[in-house]
Amino acid sequence: MAEWLDQEQDALRIHAEIEEVSTMLRLRAERKRQGARAGCSRLGVRMRSPRRPGGSFTLEWFLVDRPGRTQYLPRGRGDRYNRPAFNRAVPWERRIALEAERPLGAIRERLRLIKDLERRLQELQTLLAQPLPSAETDSEDETIREGRAS
């Protein structure tokens, strides 16, 4: 099961890389077509490596404030960025970002579910490694069996 989850996460990483590059190319092409000036908002998306061993990658939107300075946009609690997250972007960037959020949000959702499964699998493995308590040796279970549960 763990191997299958790793394979799924690797497949999601590949899909995420493709979506990231595709979105950045769309933004760049539209920026060129629009003749965007340096003062315009510059939106981008980035796939970031795990911050800790065993963690998963993240897909985050950012704005370039000035050369060398980026500000990551807050996503909130869900798996997808919502429209207000892109308020500082220009309209055509916002449109591209909201379109890209469909597949990116789906990737985030699947990553979250994989991580949940990995966590539950680890809990189950830990639990199964422990012996089951015996009714004769566990006084707390005996109290419950006699109907005197507190």
pLDDT, mean over the chain: 85
Decide if 110 contacts 8 (C-beta within 8 A): yes
According to the model, what pLDDT value does residue 110 have?
95
pTM attached to this predicted model? 0.77
According to the model, what pLDDT value does residue 38 have?
47
Using one digit for the tens of pLDDT, what is the confidence trace for 37-86? 644 768 999 998 877 776 788 999 999 887 788 899 998 889 999 999 99
Summarize the confidence of residues 122-133 as an average pLDDT.
89
Alpha carbon separation from 59 to 49, 64, 91, 97, 133 (Å, rounded): 9, 16, 21, 12, 44
